[in-house]
């Protein structure tokens, strides 16, 4: 189980969504997941409301955010002019529970 989650959310300027999703899935995620301490990433699209895009990164610890590798790939690159309404939050696990078997 991940001990830390990095959650990011963002809106993208109209007309730039396809390029953004191509970049995020094909460039950004592989770069971030190659950084030490990053175990997994999952992206979502909001079905009603904003921000439209959400990414959840599972980390071994908060230290993963400060590695030189992460510092090199952090940010929006060429997508920066299209980024709107960006939010980033870090969460530490405080409890875990699972559904009872059926």
The reported pTM is: 0.91
Residue 25's pLDDT band, with cuts at 50, 70 and 90, is very high
Residue range 8-25: mean pLDDT, rounded: 96
| Residue 23 vs residues 91, 93, 94: alpha-carbon distances, Å | 25, 30, 33
Q: What's the pLDDT tens digit per position in 27-80?
A: 999 999 999 999 999 999 999 999 999 999 999 999 999 999 999 999 998 999
Domains of the chain: 4-92 (3.30.70.100)
Q: Rounded distance, CA 90 to CA 12, Å? A: 22
Q: How many CB atoms lie within 10 A of CB 97?
A: 5
pLDDT at 34 (0 to 100): 98
What is the structure's pLDDT at 14? 95
Q: Rounded mean pLDDT of 83-98?
A: 94
- Which residues on adjacent β-strands are paired with residue 84? 11
Residue 9, token pair as written in the block: 């959310």
In the predicted structure, residue 1 carries a pLDDT above the cut 80: no
């Amino acid at each position: 189980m991940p001990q830390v989650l990095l959650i990011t959310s963002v809106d993208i300027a109209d007309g730039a969504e396809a390029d953004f999703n191509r970049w995020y899935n094909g460039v950004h995620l592989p770069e971030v997941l190659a950084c030490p301490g990053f175990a997994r990433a999952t992206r979502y699209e909001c079905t009603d409301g904003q921000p439209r895009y959400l990414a959840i990164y599972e980390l071994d610890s908060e230290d993963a955010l400060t590695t030189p590798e992460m510092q090199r790939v952090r940010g929006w690159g060429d997508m920066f002019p299209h980024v709107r309404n960006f939010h980033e939050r870090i969460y530490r696990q405080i409890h875990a529970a699972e559904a009872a078997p059926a």
